[in-house]
Amino acid sequence: MKRAAVRLRAPRPGDYGRVVALHGALYAKEFGYDARFEALVAGIVAGFIDNFDARRERCWIAERDGEVAGSVFLVRSSPTVAKLRLLIVAPKARGLGLGRRLTRACIAFARRKGYRKIVLWTQSHLTAARAIYESENFKMKSKKKHLSFGKRLVAETWELRL
């Protein structure tokens, strides 16, 4: 059976809502997160749209068979620092190297735009994402226990010097 090609593209109308819904449903099902996580994602997406700087920021939508299969955002944190946000790959698209492809799109864009560093915030239990970050030479800078989304979690801050 032939695997459907996945393409990365700019967002179209409706995609942002699909990204929020994918995060909300997936994190509730796989990790038991409550609705506050979906609200956080919705706020991040709304902020991206409201403050979008096309010269320095991007959202990539991964599309497979006409459906949103994943996404990632790169946003300006300062003139020299970008933030990787909301990396996600739908379960049906896992195992295709899509998470790495999305992460590399961010890194390449950040380099072209002259950022000196990419930072990100993740949770210790997100092993697939953490493996991608580590293999792309991100370094963990801090860990902190917290209670969020109805769960006891360990937040991690990672960075990549460009």
Please report whether residue 1 resides in a domain: no
* pLDDT score of 3: 61
Q: Measuring CA to CA, which residue among 43, 111, 104, 51 is closest to residue 75?
A: 51
Q: Span 127-142, mean pLDDT?
A: 96
34 pLDDT above the threshold of 50 = yes
Task: Name 41's Cβ contacts closer than 8 Å, sequence gap at least 6.
Answer: 19, 20, 23, 24, 86
User: For 38-65, how does the pLDDT look when each residue is reduced to its tens digit (9 = 90+)?
Assistant: 999 999 999 999 999 999 999 999 999 9
CATH number of the domain within which 144 lies: 3.40.630.30
**For 4-8, 57-61, 109-113, 158-162, which range has the lowest pLDDT when averaged over its residues?**
4-8
Per the structure, the count of domains in the chain is 1
Q: Does residue 32 belong to any structural domain of this protein?
A: yes
Q: Does residue 90 lie within any of the structural domains? A: yes
| Cα–Cα distance for residue pair 35/67, rounded to 1 Å | 23
Residues 6 or more apart whose CB falls under 8 angstroms from that of 120 comprise 83, 84, 85, 87, 133, 138, 157, 158, 159
Q: State which residues form the domain around 31.
A: 6-161
pTM for this one? 0.94
